[in-house]
Amino acid sequence: MSRRPLDYQLNSALNRSKTKIITDPILITSVFVILVFGLICLYSASGQDVSMVTKQGIYIALGIFLMLLISLIKERYYRPFLINLFWIGLLLLIWVLFFPAQGYNTDRWIDLGFFGFQPSELVRLTLPLAVAYHLTRRDRKPDMLDWATVLFFILLSTFLVFKQPDLGTSIIVFMAGFLPVFLAGFPLSIIIAGIFSLGALSPLIWYNLSDYMKGRIFTFIDPNSDPLGAGWNIAQSKTAIGSGGIFGKGYLNGTQSQLDFLPESHSDFIFSVIAEEFGLVGVSLLFLLYAIIIYRIFKISFNANTQFSRVCSASLGFIFLIYLVINVCMVSGIFPVVGVPLPLISQGGTSIVVHLMAFGFVLSLKRVETW
Amino acid sequence: MEKFRDLDSDRKQLKILLSRSFFIFTIIFLIYLIFSYQIVKLMVLDNINYVSQSDENRTITVPIYPARGLIYDSQENIITENVVSHDLVFSGSNLDELETDLIEIEELIGNSASLWSLEWFTDKEQSINFKEAILYKGLDQTQIAKFQLEKSRWSSVKIKPSLKRLVLDENLYSHVIGYLGPVSREEVISSYDFKYPLNYFSGKKGLEKEYESILRGGLGYKSVEIDAYGNEIKEISRKPPQRPENLYLSINKRLQLIARKELDGRKGAVIGIEPSTGLVKVLVSSPDFNPNLFNGTSTSGEITKILKDKDSPLFNRVISGNYPPASTLKPFIGLLALENGIIDWDYVIDDKGVFQIEGEGRRYRGWKEGGHGEVDLKKAIAVSSDVFFYQLATNLTIDKLSDFLEKFGFGLVSGIDLDNESRANLPTRNWKLGTLGEAWFVGDTVNLGIGQGFITITPMQLALATSIIANKGYAYKPRLVERINELHTTKEILYEVEIQDKSNWNKLEDAMEAVTNSWYGTAYNLSLTGEIKIVGKTGTAQIKSLTEEDLSVREEYEGIRESVSDRDHALFVGYGPIKNPKLVMVVIVENGESGSTVAAPIAQKIIDEYLKEDL
């Protein structure tokens, strides 16, 4: 047995890491399991609508392709273009505001022929990437101009999404933009000052909320105030979750979802279907899978060598986590219904593709984690 | 060198990132704790509540309504049945939408069906309770086809089959069967055990009304799973409805046909009762109506026409019609006179055609000018001598008369299983004082002697009183329903009349036999044409008074009678065969003029027919 020099071992490990096609098999496997489970649940939640499941499957295939493609690209090749990607997203946001696609009830969509596409979803991916790039492009702390620039574009993007109107996604977009800012060391004093001024401005914000947003918030405060209107959703969702019990009613046997008592069961409220049919056991297993994904993302982030990689992957990890938390808290009656899908499972092509692209970026960042 | 990274700065940035990440994780973890508590509370602690809530959501209990019980005649000919009807049903909550829908649909399928349940909708308070309501009942094939072609225009209107009541012989049994109508609000509220839906039909008149609780049967229930839109997905459990029982009537279809044919559209009443049981064999009131018009499939115009008909076809003359009994009352008055010892069968008066109370100037005419000469009670009944009975009544006084007549059921309801039975009017001194504010005069008693004046009877009362003669002292309560499925209804004695000399029953029967079988009898014509020997008594109820005041204007009297409505009512009571009577008949033909030539032959024909076969 010959002992090889240390630098040889280091180099070969580095080479393996750089040449491996799949940089994090555990992350990818967990994502895969959730996607398959999601399709199975969607079949049940959609009332056994094969065409909806097929369409979702096509999006997933596209998303996986994009994820693997991005994961193969070395970070240094795309880093300079992240800003441009953001510009494209921003332009599309402005586009939908002025030229909304026909056939959708909110101005969120761009019609690409056979499928619709939400630019707001793209922005909530490219915004944190661009912000992370802008703040870490120099090997030193960002200056005030940097902070001001990124904050301006974060607020602009948030405002454009809010105007669609899409409260849920605008919150996500704001968080997605602000997370890298926060993680990159934005001065805490300004944050505290900001929170206070936001408190002072809250009446103004309330005044600018549209009726549907106000309605949702009212319903959240008192779900019984409108039991057949907006409160109906949350009451039915809680009934679905609660009646699931520990082991659930069994696949395709959830009466709340199968008999259409649960509205939006295939999209925002799909978690309730899972809870109803698979019970607390199923929900716990699903959470375990999500936990693995989040653990892997932050493992990559905290082990990364560059500030860009760290901020980027941590931001994307937090956004994923926030999606999850908002959705499950929303359907279980803790948060108001703001229209945030359950990541990787809810019906909705753009959302899944963008989540998978985000994983692609994280996986690609792992290629450089060992310096 | 620029290429070297500032490791110190990098470590500082990593530290910031880690601490701030930790901060965010802490917040998220706190939220996660709240979520965990919520999810455990929902799925474990409150699980039972939510399970029952979800079951409540998805299952409803739906009542199942049985098909209504059928009605048969005595020969088990079916009288009413249930047939499938295609109804246009509205199920929805948007009433404003309904209004425009109705206009469009009416344009499409035409105006031939009724719209009766719309009134339920206009009363918003009522309409809250119900899921659906029938807009049009009994669509025909063309209407169904027209609607099916364009049904997509009205999302909450659909065609639904239901059962409708159909009386096969239409008008033949109208006053026996009665008719159905949409349930009233009161019925819906008070029908705890049956739970009528608001668009249900219940009995409104006749046997359909009286036997409603039997005919409608008992409610069944099914538990069904529904989706969020109320559509039935599958049945979970079922308790079948209780099969309603069928009614087997004592009414005989052939007798009904004869009675109706003989009345021939004239106003009048025919009733035939089997005296040994009280079973009603024939009951016809004319004019009649088609009960099927009321099952919801006809236009409101047709129903209004019936309701506004001045001859009141809905009015059951047999039990509700009030007529002067006229001469048909004479046997009862004769019997009372015998009972009181005022007369015996040998008592004779000289009937000169006019009666005058001693000390009074007023003269009462008999129906035959010049009178009948010497008459005893038997002949007085046979020839219907008015003068004889003027005399008897005057001697008997009103108090004795009304007491005695009440024993025969006059002034009383029989309690037959039909609605709206009338008591008619058996006058007393107090009645006159209370109603007219006048004292009773002897003249009133004189008129009562020949069944005129204040006294009125219903044909049913007359038939029961005649049954007492036929049975020699008692009558059974009249019944229309012989059995309910296999359970026979029981006969019960309704009236009993005790007399001192029982042989008087037979002698009275002899006298009534003389009416139809002696050459001088008023209905001698029956013995020439009839097949069965029957006994009877004719009556001609005078609408125009025959008192002295009118005597001078005989010609004018003839003139008045040209107006049909002023003509006398023809009455006949009778039964046969004489030994062991099978059928007691009462026939009244309004404005028929003559009891003997108009009313009596109808009774004779029916009795003949009844005895042709052992019915």
| Mutate which: A178, A182, A253, A255, vs B, most B CBs within 10 A | A255
CB burial of residue B585 (10 Å; 0-12, 13-18, 19+)? buried
Query: E-assigned strands of chain A?
Result: 110-111, 116-117
Q: Is B556 on the interface with A (CB under 8 A)?
A: no
- The residues with which B354 forms a beta bridge, in sequence order, are B365
Smallest Cα–Cα separation from B615: which of B277, B198, B135, B239? B277
Nearest CA in chain A to B25: A318
Nearest CA in chain A to B225: A259
Number of alpha helices (DSSP H) and beta strands (DSSP E) in chain A? 15, 2
CA–centroid distance for A150 within its chain: 20
Q: Is the pTM of this model over 0.80?
A: no
Contacts of B56 in chain A (CB under 8 A): none
Smallest Cα–Cα separation from A364: which of A35, A27, A60, A86? A27
B42 with A238: Cβ contact below 8 A? yes
Token pair for residue A104? Answer: 């959708």
Q: Distances from the Cα of A110 to the Cαs of A106, A118, A170, A179, A184, in angstroms?
A: 11, 6, 17, 27, 33
Nearest to B43 among A183, A275, A307 (CB): A275
pLDDT number for residue A370: 47
Residue A49: Cβ within 10 Å count: 16
Token pair for residue B563? Answer: 């107006």
Q: What is the pLDDT of residues A163-197, one digit of tens each?
A: 877 778 888 999 999 999 999 989 999 889 988 98
Q: What is the pLDDT of residues B179-191, one digit of tens each?
A: 998 887 778 777 7
Contacts of A184 in chain B (CB under 8 A): 13, 16-17
A245 with B43: Cβ contact below 8 A? yes
Smallest Cα–Cα separation from B205: which of B88, B288, B329, B142? B288
The whole-chain average pLDDT of chain B stands at: 85
If contacts are CB pairs under 8 Å, which of residues 224-283 in chain B contact chain A?
Answer: 225-229, 233
CA–centroid distance for B403 within its chain: 31
Better pLDDT: B110 or A276: A276
CB burial of residue A205 (10 Å; 0-12, 13-18, 19+)? exposed
Smallest Cα–Cα separation from B205: which of B178, B232, B240, B227? B178
Q: Is A291 on the interface with B (CB under 8 A)?
A: no
Least confident of B106-110, B111-115, B238-242, B347-351: B111-115
Q: How far apart are the first and last CA of chain A?
A: 28
CA distance A54 to A44: 13
The torsion of the CA quartet B230, B233, B238, B242, rounded to 10 degrees, works out to 60
CA distance B23 to B36: 20
Segments in B41-128 forming alpha helices (H) = 47-58, 95-109, 118-122, 124-127
Contacts of A301 in chain B (CB under 8 A): 21
CA distance B111 to B301: 11
Taken in order of first residue, the domains within chain B and their CATH numbers are 62-109+126-249 (3.90.1310.10), 253-296+311-612 (3.40.710.10)
CA distance A204 to A197: 11
Q: CB-hemisphere CA count at 13 Å for B120?
A: 24
pLDDT above 80: residue B125 = no
Amino acid at A353: V
Smallest Cα–Cα separation from A121: which of A154, A89, A82, A97? A89
How far does the CA of residue A112 sit from the closest CA of chain B (Å)? Answer: 32
> In angstroms, how far apart are the furthest CA atoms of chain A?
77
Nearest CA in chain A to B44: A245
Band of residue B544 on the pLDDT scale cut at 50, 70, 90: low
pLDDT above 80: residue B359 = no
* Sign of the alpha-carbon torsion through B359, B362, B363, B364: negative
Q: What is the pLDDT of residues A95-107, one digit of tens each?
A: 888 876 655 555 5
Band of residue B555 on the pLDDT scale cut at 50, 70, 90: very low
Token pair for residue A200? Answer: 């002072």
pLDDT number for residue A115: 53
In chain A, where the domains are located: 24-366
CA distance B194 to A150: 73
The answer for B275, left when phi > 0, alpha when psi is -120 to 50, beta otherwise, is alpha
pLDDT number for residue A348: 86
Smallest Cα–Cα separation from B471: which of B491, B497, B492? B497
Q: Distances from the Cα of A167 to the Cαs of A324, A337, B127, in angstroms?
A: 16, 10, 40
Q: What is the pLDDT of residues B62-94, one digit of tens each?
A: 778 888 999 999 999 999 999 888 888 777 656
Cβ–Cβ under 8 Å, residues B351 and B388: yes
CA distance A132 to A315: 9
Instruction: Assign 3-class secondary structure to B311-349.
Output: CCCCCCHHHHCCECCHHHHHHHHHHHHHHCCCCCCCCCE
Q: Distances from the Cα of A50 to the Cαs of A40, B133, B212, B495, in angstroms?
A: 11, 37, 53, 81
CA distance B31 to B156: 46
